[in-house]
Chains A and B, each alone.
Chain A
């Protein structure tokens, strides 16, 4: 649909996108806000949430039309913004929108068998998928993974372990990065789908974390797991480039979630400072408060402007590897400063579990770690600088 018209500062504010935002905001207020505390306690979101989101088309956003998708990464960013700015959280986005990292490689491979079996049922909310790259001994250094798959005719024998896997506890299937050629480094990495219930594949732990409490995170173990070679995504050895190809959208999404959390905290703080009385007047009347809020708004606006500029260029086909890394770090640093200041302006209330800021403060910490750490982003920038 939008493939013909280049993205611009006008298209990102189109009427359709405003309506998309409003629709997702309404969904959030009706289905997420009343339940989020319970889900934070339970450590996961229910399947019914995926089903409801799918009915509204939310789970199809950002995927290509030929598999029933609609819109592009900019629409996905708008979805996350609407969820977070209406009272949801980046944890909700992580749990509900895990498909954004779980199925793109399947779709890009154009393997109709895998698309019908896994990608489409995930977009319709019937299945939950995860992406498992990180291992206890390999995170940033993806090429160092050791989980292995040995070919035996038309089957693979898989052994290894994965950790910090989002939605891994609930997942019906996991897209696993593994070595099909252990001697080849990153060129030996392939992606294989492993289904829940396959013998030898177990969730060894549901991990407890600082934030993202409503998003389950798991440790997975593969012990002599046999999987049909039909579950290999793309060519053998194409895993690393497939993973890298999808990093751009993952990073743009995380950056938009970070800034949406910052914006939500600014909004909550604006209301708070106008109502909180200190030394006989509203907190908002203090010159220092005004200075702080101005600074928060500046950080947010500048980071968001650069993020959208990068997203627009990315969708229009420009090579923006360095800019994506910059946009993520800029968003993360802005968010950290803003949420910290928002909490400070709330005083003791900011530290309380009952206050939404407290959750964003904890949830926000992952943004500079997941999807590539701040340091890895800087490595990418440095590499582009050819120093």
Chain B
């Protein structure tokens, strides 16, 4: 089973985020693997393990030849990676990103393309389905589990009420919800082995894009303004004067949870 996994490398969410003049997130800091993508990597590794043979190939578009996030996924066990890095890609919107990833993925044939439902920096949640459309693949979103059944996949798709079971023919694109599998620890041997796993670097010329079709000049989305999210209120302090128990019950009752 051959699986492509889209892996975004994002500025460390623990560090304060910086914006440039066009309201784009500054990506000149050290980038790490988006945690949301670790679930897709884990699911891909599990599927290949179960199939007994296969390959997990990572695809990432990132500035400045950044590979540290990819190394993490390679250390987990992915076989190789493809990095599309080109200064002319700066300012890409979701569709440009999808075009670039789709073209890179489309150079080979895969049984399955996995992505996270959304990235933890951009949160558009639109790139994966755009990739599917561009590659002419059926897509299933919000997967919490995938099983192989002959030439098809049975995908458990999360819904508000529970989950749907969807059968989809391969090749297909599936987006994986965060938290549905436990991403494995890369062990130290895996970490050392990752150092020598191949990372192919591509420019937009390698993918035969004209510079005005991607990056800022190809973007159809513009961010016109941003504002900080509302900060959370301070909350109420309840002093326990021996009646803390009753006060908690009273509060929970007021919320109608008990």
Contacts and interface: CB of A to CB of B under 8 A. Distances in A.
Interface of A: 1, 15-16, 19-20, 23, 26-27, 55-58, 60-61, 70-71, 75
Contact of A70 (B68, B186, B189): B189
B185 A16 contact: no
Nearest to A27: B185
6 contacts: A15-B68, A16-B191, A19-B194, A56-B185, A70-B192, A71-B188
B191 A19 contact: yes
Kindly name the residue among B68, B75, B191 whose own CB sees the greatest number of chain A CB atoms within 10 A: B191
Contacts of B190: 57
Contacts of B72: 19
Of A19, A26, A71, most buried by chain B (CB within 10 Å of CB) is: A19
A75 B194 CA distance: 16
A22 to B, nearest CB: 8
A27 B186 CA distance: 11
B146 to A, nearest CB: 25
A27 B191 CA distance: 15
Given A15-B68, A15-B71, A20 B191 contact: yes
Interface string B35-65: 0000000000000000000000000000000
Contact of A61 (B75, B185, B186, B188): B188
A70 B194 CA distance: 14
B187 A55 contact: yes
A58 B188 contact: yes
Given A16-B195, A19-B75, A57 B188 contact: yes
Contacts of B68: 15
Contacts of B71: 15, 19
A61 B187 CA distance: 11
A104 B222 CA distance: 62
Interface string B67-84: 010011001000000000
Interface of B: 68, 71-72, 75, 185-192, 194-195
B186 to A, nearest CB: 6
Given A57-B188, A75-B188, 19 more contacts: A1-B192, A15-B71, A15-B195, A16-B191, A16-B192, A19-B71, A19-B75, A19-B186, A19-B191, A19-B194, A20-B188, A20-B191, A26-B185, A55-B187, A57-B187, A57-B189, A57-B190, A70-B188, A71-B192
A60 B188 contact: yes
Contacts of A71: 188, 192
Closest 4 A/B residue pairs (Cβ): A57-B188, A57-B187, A56-B187, A19-B191
Nearest to B30: A18
B166 to A, nearest CB: 33
Contacts of B188: 20, 23, 56-58, 60-61, 70-71, 75
A138 to B, nearest CB: 37
A58 B191 CA distance: 12
A242 B11 CA distance: 48
A20 B75 CA distance: 10
Contacts of B191: 16, 19-20, 23
**Best-surrounded residue of B75, B187, B190 (most CB of chain A within 10 A):** B187
A83 B186 CA distance: 16
A58 B190 CA distance: 12
A145 B194 CA distance: 47
A27 B188 CA distance: 12
B116 to A, nearest CB: 20
B242 to A, nearest CB: 23
A23 B191 CA distance: 9
Contacts of A55: 187
A26 B189 CA distance: 16
Nearest to B196: A1
A56 B189 CA distance: 8
A315 B71 CA distance: 26
A74 to B, nearest CB: 13
Nearest to B71: A15
A23 B186 contact: yes
A163 B166 CA distance: 65
Contacts of A61: 188
Contacts of A60: 188-189
A60 B192 CA distance: 13
A352 B71 CA distance: 42
A188 B68 CA distance: 53
A61 B192 CA distance: 12
